[in-house]
């Protein structure tokens, strides 16, 4: 039988360097609160993006392991659903405390496997932790409604969990995105099977260990691994009632269609091309700092990275000053002091980003700052792309049409704010946008007319905190964004409403003939 270890025995000290791990351990499945060695025949090598050293091998979980995860989650569902809300709240409090205690360890795993700087990785953890903290307030969020609809008759509504749910996660936020799902799914009484990204599952494995320590019973949270094969299993498994997906359009549109066709609820956040409109009346220094930070932070590998600027009027002259700020950023291994951005996730991603920069050059845009060929001395083998700034970009160019997902800022020019709004609205994506201006009237018009779902006014990355919801729109969500992540829509996603109508008459019925017409209570 496969080797199992208890969660507690997996605790390790966390890495603080990019040194080669001498004997990398294989990543395990997490089933019934136990780490279980996979019997996989296919493995995916995971490399540190700063060095390309092997960190671990991630299994393509076998059919039997996937089956075991779903069966475990199904077995756990009824008893978990029947625990009191206050009990689940207590588990969530413990989970929150443990995430705080293990914050550095989680962040270090992210830096090692994903590449982002340690400080940025701590932010990745915190944004997820905040969702878990908000879920602790579930006791006031889960109340239903009641109304006396006619004499002696009342209707009550209850929010009930769905059953087994699943989450399919991307590589770019290895802690935050699993934590968009785990807290709300579980605190509302569901169980969940998570498939972290095969490119950086380490943070999720630490979270799994913390789930066991926090008191989640076996089966409430299970973790399986792999790529498309695991995803197809999730999409086709009848016991799984809801699927959360965050990732690219290519995978997400397929996942949305197939899971929906199989009758599941689906929430799916997809790709982006986030624009800033830069107006001549803005606070210039604030705007330029904000743009450089939001374009190049996390090496541009954020779905809310500010990857596109529309320079309105004379602000097109400011592009050189954005480049000056970009040049000051330190591109280095994520554990190094002072590193501002780390490597991109893989050699393939680096190649794709460099190809898009080359395409911009061929199509006649101006490469103001070229990050191709950059290498920090200490990490010559990493997947490096330095900050790159491309000006005079036109909407037909590939570098504008495709999501670059790297440290590349493309700048277009517009004569007026109206032209900027039209340009932003003509783009297929609608995740986020920002405007930099001192005029309340201009900001107000922008806010009303722009079609992106998350708008920043002098705020470069307007990702809402968990009391709101992540409200991308257009091609940045599948299914019209009916089920957005966290906040009230997140609660709706993980619960179904049951309404109960009851009649308690004080006098006994005297008529002896049944009424056959539709009851209307009017
Ligand atoms: P990805 O689509 O390659 O992978 C996401 C998940 O889907 C992974 O778990 C992967 O195993 C799985 N997957 C990939 N290809 C598949 C296929 N053909 N069939 C079935 N499953 C498949 O995305 P990524 O590269 O990990 O993440 C980056 C993308 O995610 C970017 O497009 C980014 O904009 C997007 N993203 C969006 C948000 C948001 O909230 N809108 C947040 C983070 C990332």
Residue 11 is predicted with a pLDDT of: 46
Question: Quick one: which H or E segment has residue 166?
Answer: strand 164-168
Determine the residue of 251, 301, 487 to mutate for testing ligand 1's pocket, defined as the one with the most ligand atoms within 8 A of the Cβ atom. Answer: 251
Collect all residues with Cβ–Cβ distance below 8 Å to 47 and sequence separation of at least 6.
53, 54, 55, 346
Query: Which two three-digit tokens encode residue 222?
Result: 């299970």
> pLDDT band for position 8 (50/70/90)?
very low
CA 121–ligand 1 middle distance (angstroms): 19
* Higher per-residue confidence, 41 vs 5: 41
CB 82 within 8 A of CB 52: no
Rounded-to-integer distance, Cα 306 and Cα 494, Å = 31
Residue 345 C-beta-side C-alpha neighbours within 13 Å: 21
Give the pLDDT score at 9.
Answer: 43
Structure token pair of residue 1: 């039988």
The DSSP bridge partners found for residue 44 are 58
The pLDDT value given to residue 520:
83
The residue written with tokens 């729109």 in the block is: 473
Q: Cβ distance 489 to 469 under 8 Å?
A: yes
Residues 6+ apart with CB under 8 A from 128: 99, 173, 175, 176, 177, 178, 179, 180
Average pLDDT over residues 445-467: 97
What ipTM was assigned to the predicted interfaces of this complex?
A: 0.99
Could you give the 3-state DSSP secondary structure of residue 259?
helix
201 C-alpha vs ligand 1 centroid, how far in Å?
Answer: 14
* Tokens 């606070």, located at residue: 283
Q: Is 102 helix (H, G, I), strand (E, B) or coil?
A: coil
Check pocket membership of 38 for ligand 1, CB cut-off 6 A.
no
Distances (CA, A) of 384 to 72, 259, 444: 42, 36, 40
Report residue 3 as tokens.
């080797």
Specify the pLDDT at position 272: 97
| End-to-end Cα, the chain, rounded Å | 64
pLDDT tens, position by position, 380-436: 999 999 999 999 999 999 999 999 999 999 999 999 999 999 999 999 999 999 999
**Residue bearing tokens 């019934």:** 32
Q: Does residue 228 have its Cβ closer than 6 Å to ligand 1?
A: yes
Closest residue by Cα to residue 491 from 468, 462, 464, 465: 468
Q: Which residues contact 294 (CB under 8 A, 6 or more apart)?
A: 276, 304, 305, 306, 434, 460, 461
Locate 120 and state its tokens.
């940025």
pLDDT at 106 over 90: yes
- The pLDDT, as a whole number, for residue 378 is 97
The minimum-distance atom of ligand 1 relative to the CA of 247 is: 30
Residue 487's Cα: distance from chain center in Å?
Answer: 14
C-beta of residue 106 within 8 angstroms of C-beta of residue 114 = no
* pLDDT score at 3: 59
Q: Assess contact for 230 and 195: CB atoms under 8 A.
A: yes
Query: What pLDDT score does 352 carry?
Result: 98
Mean pLDDT of 144-162: 96
Long-range contact pairs involving 391-397 (C-beta distance under 8 Å, separation at least 24): 391/316, 391/319, 391/365, 391/366, 392/364, 392/365, 392/366, 393/360, 393/365, 394/363, 394/364, 394/365, 395/423, 395/426, 395/427, 396/363, 397/359, 397/360, 397/363, 397/364, 397/365
The pLDDT score that the predictor gives to residue 404 is 98
Stretch 158-171: mean pLDDT: 98
Residue 104 has pLDDT above 80, yes or no: yes
Using a cut of 0.80, tell me whether the model's pTM lies above it. yes
Q: How far apart are CA 293 and CA 18, in angstroms?
A: 24
Q: How far apart are CA 39 and CA 43, in angstroms?
A: 10
pLDDT confidence tier of residue 521, bands split at 50, 70 and 90: confident
For residue 252, how far is its CA from the centre of ligand 1 (angstroms)?
Answer: 7
CA-closest candidate to residue 390, choices 407, 371, 410: 410
Helix-helix angle 103-114:85-101, to 10 degrees: 70
Q: How far is CA 380 from CA 98, 184, 370, 387, 463, in A?
A: 36, 42, 18, 17, 34
Q: Pairing mode, if any, of strands 388-391 and 366-369?
A: antiparallel
Whether 303 is catalytic: yes
Does the CB atom of residue 484 touch ligand 1 within 6 A?
no
What is the predicted pLDDT for the residue at 509?
Answer: 74
* pLDDT attached to residue 513: 86
Residue 400, token pair as written in the block: 């504008």
- Helix or strand holding residue 191 (H, E): strand 191-195
Cβ atoms < 10 Å from Cβ of 86: 9
**403 close to ligand 1 (CB < 6 Angstrom):** yes
pLDDT score recorded for residue 505: 85
Q: Are 114 and 302 in contact, with CB atoms under 8 Å apart?
A: no
Confidence bin at 12 (pLDDT 50/70/90) = low
305: confidence class by pLDDT, cuts 50, 70, 90: very high
271 lines ligand 1 (CB under 6 A): yes
Tokens, residue 263 = 């009758």
Taking the centre of ligand 1 as the mean of its atom positions, its distance from the CA of residue 425, in whole angstroms, is: 24
Is there an atom of ligand 1 within 6 Å of 109 CB?
Answer: no
Average pLDDT in the chain:
96
- Tell me the sheet residues that pair with 501: 155
Q: What pLDDT is attached to residue 33? A: 98
- The residue whose C-alpha atom lies closest to atom 6 belonging to ligand 1 is 170
Query: Tens digit of pLDDT for each residue in 212-265?
Result: 999 999 999 999 999 999 999 999 999 999 999 999 999 999 999 999 999 999
Residue 71 CA to residue 66 CA, distance in Å, equals: 9
State whether the Cα torsion 67-72-78-84 is positive or negative: negative
Stretch 95-120: mean pLDDT, rounded? 97
Q: How far is the CA of 512 from the centre of ligand 1 (A)?
A: 63
Q: Determine which residue's CA is closest to atom 9 belonging to ligand 1.
A: 197
Residue environment code for 396-417, b if the CB has 16+ CB neighbours within 10 A, otherwise e: ebebbeebbbbbbbbbbbbeeb
Q: What is the pLDDT of residues 173-188, one digit of tens each?
A: 999 999 999 999 999 9
Distance between Cα 107 and ligand 1 center (Å):
21
Query: Per-residue pLDDT for 5 more than 80?
Result: no
* Residue owning the nearest CA to atom 18 of ligand 1: 251
231 lines ligand 1 (CB under 6 A): yes
Cα 55 from Cα 85, distance rounded (Å): 40
Q: Report the share of the chain in percent with pLDDT over 90.
A: 92
pLDDT grade for 14, boundaries at 50, 70 and 90: confident
Q: Does residue 170 have its Cβ closer than 6 Å to ligand 1? A: yes
């Amino acid at each position: 039988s496969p080797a199992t270890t208890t969660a507690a025995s997996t605790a390790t000290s966390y890495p603080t360097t990019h040194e080669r791990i001498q004997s990398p351990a294989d990543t395990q499945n997490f089933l019934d609160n136990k780490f279980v060695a996979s019997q996989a025949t296919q493995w995916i090598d995971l490399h540190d993006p700063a060095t390309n050293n092997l960190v671990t091998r991630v299994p393509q979980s076998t059919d039997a392991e996937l089956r075991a995860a779903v069966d475990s989650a199904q077995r756990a569902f009824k008893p978990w659903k029947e625990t009191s809300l206050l009990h689940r709240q207590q588990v969530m409090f413990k989970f929150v405390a443990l995430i705080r205690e293990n914050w550095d360890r989680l962040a270090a795993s992210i830096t090692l496997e994903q590449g982002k700087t340690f400080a940025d990785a701590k932010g990745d953890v915190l944004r997820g932790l905040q969702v878990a903290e908000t879920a602790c307030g579930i006791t006031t969020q889960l109340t239903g409604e009641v109304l006396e609809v006619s004499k002696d008759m009342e209707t009550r509504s209850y929010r009930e969990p769905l059953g087994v749910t699943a989450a399919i996660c991307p590589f770019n936020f290895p802690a935050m995105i699993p934590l968009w799902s785990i807290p709300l799914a579980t605190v509302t009484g569901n169980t969940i099977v998570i498939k972290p990204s095969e490119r950086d599952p380490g943070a999720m494995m630490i979270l799994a260990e913390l789930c066991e320590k926090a008191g989640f019973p076996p089966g409430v949270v299970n973790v399986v691994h792999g790529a498309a094969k695991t995803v197809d299993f999730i999409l086709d498994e009848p016991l799984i009632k809801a699927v959360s997906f965050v990732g690219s359009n290519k995978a997400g549109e397929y996942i949305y269609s197939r899971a929906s066709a199989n009758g599941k609820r689906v929430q799916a956040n997809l790709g982006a091309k986030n624009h800033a409109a830069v107006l001549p009346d803005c606070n210039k220094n604030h705007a330029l700092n904000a743009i450089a930070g939001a374009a190049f932070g996390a090496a541009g590998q954020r779905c809310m990275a500010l990857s596109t600027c529309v320079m309105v009027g004379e602000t097109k002259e400011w592009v050189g000053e954005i480049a000056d700020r970009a040049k000051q950023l330190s591109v280095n291994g994520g554990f190094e002091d002072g590193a501002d951005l780390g490597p991109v996730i893989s050699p393939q991603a680096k190649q794709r980003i460099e190809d898009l920069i080359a395409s911009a050059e061929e199509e006649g845009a101006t490469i103001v700052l070229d990050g191709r060929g950059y290498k920090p001395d200490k990490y010559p083998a990493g997947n490096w792309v330095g900050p790159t700034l491309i000006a005079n970009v036109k909407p037909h160019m590939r570098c504008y049409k495709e999501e670059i997902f790297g440290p590349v800022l493309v700048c277009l020019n517009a004569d007026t704010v109206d032209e900027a709004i039209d340009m932003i609205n003509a783009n297929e994506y609608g995740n986020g946008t920002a405007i930099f201006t001192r005029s309340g009237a201009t900001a107000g018009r922008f806010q009303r007319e722009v079609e992106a779902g998350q708008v920043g006014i002098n705020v470069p990355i307007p990702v809402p905190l968990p009391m709101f919801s992540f409200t991308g729109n257009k091609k940045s969500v599948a299914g019209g964004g009916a089920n957005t992540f966290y906040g009230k829509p997140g609660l709706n996603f993980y619960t179904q409403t049951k309404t109960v109508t009851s009649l308690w008459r004080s006098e006994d019925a005297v008529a002896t003939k049944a009424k056959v017409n539709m009851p209307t209570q009017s």
